[in-house]
Structure 1
Amino acid sequence: MKVVVDEDKCVAAGQCVAASMDVFDQRDEDGIVVLLNENPGPELADEVRNAAAVCPALAIRIEE
């Protein structure tokens, strides 16, 4: 699994962080997504898929 984020689409809602704080964070100055782990292990797969699903801007893409 590879995670790709589009910072230009991000609206700083923070749903990704709530869904998977081991993979996503937010910049302090504007709340835009920060990808902490581009290749999370299988134990985080469900969390990451959920984060992509709840992102209101569809700024998270998962490549299997």
Structure 2
Amino acid sequence: MRRLAVGDLILGIETSCDETAVAVVERATIVRSSVVASQVEQHAVFGGVVPEIAGRAHAQELVP
């Protein structure tokens, strides 16, 4: 694996059952942007995570 050069960017995408997070990092040390979309409020009324709602919400957040 090659070393990261100045200006190289890494896009990280992470999802859990009720959150979607995206970050852009430069050279693995400088966080350029970090955004978290939470679904906690959407699921709170049901007393827990509803998989159908979670799946649709993840797709809505990630698909342009």
* TM-score grouping bracket, smaller chain normalisation: under 0.3
- Computing the radius of gyration from Cα coordinates, the structure with the larger value is 2
Give 1 or 2: higher strand fraction.
Answer: 2
Give the structure-1-normalised TM-score.
0.27
